[in-house]
Amino acid sequence: MSNWRRQVHKLQIDITSHCNARCGACIRNIDGGETRPGLKLANFDIDTWKRLAIKDTKGWWIRELTLNGNWGDPMMHPNLVEMIDIWTTHHPESSIFIATNGSMRTTKFWGDLATVLRQASSHKIDFAIDGMEDTHHLYRRRTDFNKIIENVKSFNANKGHSVVMMTMFEHNKHQIDEVRELAREIGARSFVARRSFTGDRTVSIVDKNESYTIKAYYPKDDKDKDIFNDSDHYRTEFHENDVPMSDLKDGSIYMNVNDMFHDVFDEHRESKCPWKQEGEVQIDPWGTVWPCCHISLYGGGDASAYLDMGKELNEDAAEENVIGKAKEDNNLNKFELGDILNNHWFHKTLNRAIISADWKVCRNNCGICK
């Protein structure tokens, strides 16, 4: 059984379970309405973050730090700028990736965030802009289109690297050219159109006096032009918006060493688990370390009761209280990251489950089989 501690060089962290939006298909709310009962609202502990950056990972090569949003939007954390400053001070080698709806905070905040992110080896923020003003709000509910635009402008004006990410629905697919041109005008480095992760299903919105449905755009045949086969639509780079290297920290040394370390890590890829092969783990807002986002998505915090993680694994796993042990033994508020990745849960329970393909969530999401 290969060692998780030796392979980890990518961290994906949910730093908050707070969010200002009510997106229709988001797991944290019910049909775009009220927050799910049992979801504990919390921000990643700042003291634990400091220890993670300064002590736990001292001497580790952390190739990538991703702040994602299974449970909330990273920009909702009150200490985000300080956290990025701490991380880049102690891990200047890390590339930092963040995803956000962008409809919060002041333009000054976004300028300050761009400034600290420029201390990293490289960085980018994906801003979700799902159409123009008349359509964006239909999925990205409770967000302000005009506020997002001003925030992106401020981030870019301070030499931040932004990407405008447009999720395609039937109601906004006709606006792809408009959104791409908007992205160029506000200084984004690139524009990406993507399929909705909901497939082609219809999403119901039920919130107080609002009730409507939206349908994801997911072309299946030639009757509807598949824009994702057209590179000009799928991704467009705006090189005129690139920031001169003289205005940025020189990350070339770090990137070269990153490439070198990538080759080293390639030699140790022994697992059927794609996350383990990539040397990546997921950390939730409550400080629990998980082997991937698929398991953390169902097992995070007090939400596990309604998401029924035990049944997603299998009956034996539920009887063994696999998730309860993970939340107890894998919590950064009590243990250092290295100790967690070397503990019985990661080294024995998890490795055995991967080798034997015991867990339904692993089979369904990653195709792991015996």
56 contacts: CB under 8 Å, gap ≥ 6:
332, 336, 337, 338
Once rounded to an integer, what is the mean pLDDT over residues 181-206? 89
**How does residue 187 score in pLDDT terms, banded at 50, 70 and 90?**
very high
Better-predicted residue by pLDDT, 302 or 277: 277
Show the tokens assigned to 369. 């089989």
**How does residue 234 score in pLDDT terms, banded at 50, 70 and 90?**
confident
Task: With respect to residue 1, please indicate whether it lies within any of the assigned structural domains.
Answer: no
Q: What is the pLDDT of residue 313?
A: 61
**Is the pLDDT score of 250 beyond 50?**
no
Task: With respect to residue 234, please indicate whether it lies within any of the assigned structural domains.
Answer: yes
Show the tokens assigned to 96. 């930092």
How close are the terminal C-alpha atoms of the chain, in Å?
Answer: 15
Residue 36 vs residues 23, 41, 71, 295, 306: alpha-carbon distances, Å:
13, 11, 11, 18, 9
> Do residues 74 and 107 both lie within one domain?
yes
**How does residue 191 score in pLDDT terms, banded at 50, 70 and 90?**
very high
**How does residue 284 score in pLDDT terms, banded at 50, 70 and 90?**
very high
Once rounded to an integer, what is the mean pLDDT over residues 47-63? 97
Amino acid at residue number 342: N
> Do residues 177 and 324 both lie within one domain?
no
Once rounded to an integer, what is the mean pLDDT over residues 194-207? 83
Once rounded to an integer, what is the mean pLDDT over residues 87-115? 98
**Is the pLDDT score of 261 beyond 80?**
no
> Do residues 284 and 146 both lie within one domain?
no
> Do residues 228 and 287 both lie within one domain?
no
- Mean model confidence pLDDT for the chain: 86
**Is the pLDDT score of 358 beyond 50?**
yes
> Do residues 240 and 302 both lie within one domain?
no
Q: Report the domain count for the chain.
A: 2
Q: What is the pLDDT of residue 324?
A: 81
Once rounded to an integer, what is the mean pLDDT over residues 171-188? 96
Judge whether 124 and 137 are in contact, CB under 8 Å.
no
Show the tokens assigned to 226. 């598949």
Question: Comparing 32-46, 248-262, 313-327, which segment has the lowest mean pLDDT?
Answer: 248-262
Single pTM value for the model: 0.89
Identify the burial level of 220 via C-beta atoms within 10 angstroms of its C-beta, where 0-12 means exposed, 13-18 middle and 19 or more buried.
exposed
Task: With respect to residue 357, please indicate whether it lies within any of the assigned structural domains.
Answer: yes
**Is the pLDDT score of 238 beyond 80?**
yes
> Do residues 167 and 126 both lie within one domain?
yes
Once rounded to an integer, what is the mean pLDDT over residues 140-166? 97
Which domain covers residue 338, as residue numbers?
Answer: 269-366
**How does residue 258 score in pLDDT terms, banded at 50, 70 and 90?**
very low
Once rounded to an integer, what is the mean pLDDT over residues 272-295? 92
Task: With respect to residue 253, please indicate whether it lies within any of the assigned structural domains.
Answer: no
**Is the pLDDT score of 171 beyond 50?**
yes
> Do residues 286 and 227 both lie within one domain?
no
Provide the CATH number for the domain around residue 167. Answer: 3.20.20.70
> Do residues 168 and 47 both lie within one domain?
yes
> Do residues 196 and 278 both lie within one domain?
no
Task: With respect to residue 264, please indicate whether it lies within any of the assigned structural domains.
Answer: no
Task: With respect to residue 311, please indicate whether it lies within any of the assigned structural domains.
Answer: yes
Task: With respect to residue 262, please indicate whether it lies within any of the assigned structural domains.
Answer: no
Q: What is the pLDDT of residue 229?
A: 62
Task: With respect to residue 259, please indicate whether it lies within any of the assigned structural domains.
Answer: no
Helix (H), strand (E) counts: the chain: 19, 11
Torsion of CA 289, 88, 109, 45, to 10 degrees: 30
The span from the CA of 361 to the CA of 339, in Å, is 25
> Do residues 125 and 54 both lie within one domain?
yes
> Do residues 129 and 218 both lie within one domain?
yes
> Do residues 236 and 275 both lie within one domain?
no
**Is the pLDDT score of 24 beyond 80?**
yes
